[in-house]
Amino acid sequence: MSLSRHINAEEVIEACKEHPHKKHSIRGTGYHQSWRRDEDAQLAPKYTMPKVGIPAKAAYQLLHDQTALDGNPLLNLASFVHTWMPEEADKLIMENINKNIVDLDEYPAASIIHNRAISMLADLWKAPKDGKVIGTATAGSSEAIMLGGLAMKKRWQEARKAAGKDYFHPNIIFGSNAQVALEKFARYFDVETRLVPVKASNGFIMDPNDALQFIDENTIGVIVILGSTYTGHFENVALMGKLLDDLQERTGLDIPIHVDGASGAFIAPFAYPKLKWSFDVPRVVSINTSGHKFGLVYAGLGWVLWRDEKYLHKDLVFELHYLGSTEYSFTLNFSKPAAPVIAQMFNFLNLGFEGYRKIAIKDLRNARLLSRALENTYFEVLSEVHRPVSGDKHDVDDPEHYLPGLPVVSFRLSDKFKQEYPHVQQGWVQSLLRTKGWIVPNYNAPLGAEEVEILRVVVRETLSQDLVERLIVDILEVTEQILVPNNVMAAITPTSTQTLHQPDKSHGRPDKDNFGDAEVEGGQTQAGFSRQC
């Protein structure tokens, strides 16, 4: 959720009175008018609560019309967040929209469904049979990462206290390709961030060998990313575990791994069942994922599991008695809707393992289709899920015949193209695709390869083969449109409501859920009062 500033309505209106756009306002007030036959919404203020409410139909129509200005979720290829569920799931969600899952006494069925989901995920992630796996639903992977990090920090502090050593200077290790939630954890909970620079040669992800030099006795853990938001690559969990085993033999340092499987933990089990990345790697103590990404649930659901309850310190677990029964909680927020958890169980029951596998295979097939089409044109493809494992054929459908990764296609203008057409800016491709409805972000690679610009498409369940074919045509069409310098200004003209998209030069991590619109929204926010009118 982005930060928003309070808007002084009176100051905005005063600024509008003498503005050239005043002629477009109703009565010069900046008030809403929803639809022609309904005057109720006309005087509803924008930034203060109305003294007297308006009819439900008018309020609905006003907000319905406003939200129609949003982009089409189907064409939002910047986002990993799932945007469609069957009508039976929609019905279940609405039937349970008013339930608070934290109230176990009042809603015991929802609690049982939550417990079953934890067990299913534990089995999917190869939890040890002799372990006491524990976990919880969260408000997305961001909260899940916070909880996983807090558990590692608390366990490290207790070990340091027991040894009579300093426990005030913890640090955590992860690649510079990490999503911003990982840095949020470190900043919010006073843990030093040690970013491992990435290299283009290994797909802009953390090399486990490079991570070792950042580790010391104050390291609470290493976060390994199963599915980079930049290129979809999987970091090597098994190798990181082996290197940390060797480190412990040499130095005595016992460093745990948390796997950020925000996207990959719902792809790898189905598409790459032989890949070692989960609790079958003994060094992995916790895993998080987003149910609202490749778990195929609407936004607002994450999960975090620990391989054994000993990795979740008892001081972090709260015992509650005032809702009618004894309850145990470890989350950053208390109340939580039951509907997303029930929607996740619907998918587990409706799809089963084979259903999830079919969708993962289809998504990866469509990613290969797009990758191969782009690779033979003006672009270099940086993602690698279309590249066969050495000796394998190109025409097989089994994902295990290709390099593992998310169904993501990351690409850039080729060096040859940039030499022939030096006037072309890659950000223009993003802007022109937006005019056709497609949201495809253009951004800089992370620290270590920040000079590289990347365009990225997330291939979700809703991006069918037919849409991929249309997308290919549109990408090539807009690219050819800007080959001639005179066509550029005709094709892209900045206005008060659209600016040219330039890559972020701050080298910050992209937002986990959706960073395709950040520059447009930021531009509008900073434009002053005239944009508010």
Q: Is residue 232 part of a domain?
A: yes
280 and 365 inside one domain:
no
- In a domain? residue 34: no
Please indicate, yes or no, whether residues 250 and 374 belong to a single structural domain of this protein.
no
Residues 271 and 403 in one domain: no
Q: Examine the domain organization and report whether 268 and 187 are in the same domain.
A: yes
Nearest-angstrom CA–CA distance, 512 and 182:
10
Q: Band of the pLDDT at 1, cuts 50, 70, 90?
A: low
Place of tokens 């939550």: 114
Decide if pLDDT at 131 tops 80.
yes
pLDDT of residue 314: 86
- Cβ(259)–Cβ(224) below 8 Å: yes
pLDDT, mean of residues 219-224: 98
Q: How many domains, in total, are found in the chain?
A: 2
Higher model confidence: residue 29 or residue 430?
430
| Domain extent for 408 | 360-390+397-492
- Tell me the per-residue pLDDT of 23-38, one tens digit each, with 9 for 90 and over: 555 554 555 665 556 6
pLDDT of residue 24: 55
337 and 370: one domain?
A: no
Write the CATH number for 484.
3.90.1150.160
Q: Are residues 431 and 287 in the same domain?
A: no
Q: Which two tokens stand for residue 456?
A: 């990225």
We report the CATH number of the domain holding residue 291 as 3.40.640.10
Q: How far is CA 348 from CA 88, 297, 342, 354, in A?
A: 14, 11, 10, 10
State the pTM of this model: 0.86
Residues 377, 309 share a domain:
no
Length of the chain: 533
Q: Is the pLDDT of residue 457 over 90?
A: yes
Report the mean per-residue pLDDT for the chain: 87
- Higher pLDDT among residues 129 and 9, named by residue: 129
Per the domain annotation, does 138 fall within a domain? yes
375-428, pLDDT tens digit by residue? 989 999 999 999 999 776 667 899 999 999 999 999 999 999 999 999 999 999
Q: Which is more confident, 286 or 512? A: 286
| pLDDT, tens digit, 9 for 90 and up, residues 461-498 | 999 999 999 999 999 999 999 988 766 555 555 443 34
Segment 237-274, tens digit of pLDDT: 999 999 999 999 999 999 999 999 999 999 999 999 99
User: What is the predicted pLDDT for the residue at 403?
Assistant: 96
* 500 Cβ contact partners less than 8 Å away, ≥ 6 residues apart: 425, 427, 428, 431, 492, 494
Residue 365 domain-assigned? yes
Does one domain contain both 331 and 381?
no
292 and 226 inside one domain: yes
Together in a domain, 312 and 436: no
Work out the average pLDDT over 175-194: 96
Which pLDDT score is estimated for 514? 42
- For residue 70, tell me if it sits in a domain: no
Is residue 22 scored above 60 in pLDDT? no
**Strand ranges inside 234-365, DSSP E:** 257-260, 284-290, 302-306, 318-320, 327-329
Is there a domain that residue 16 lies in? Answer: no
Query: Does any domain span residue 83?
Result: no
Residue 250 lies in a domain: yes
Same domain, 418 and 339: no
Q: How far apart are CA 459 and CA 462, in angstroms?
A: 8
Q: 255 and 142 in one domain?
A: yes
Distance, in Å, from the CA atom of 461 to the CA atom of 456, rounded to the nearest integer, reads 16
Residue 492: its pLDDT value, please? 56
Strand order of the sheet with strand 379-381?
379-381, 408-413, 453-458, 442-444
- Tens of pLDDT, residue by residue over 343-365, are 999 999 999 999 999 999 999 99
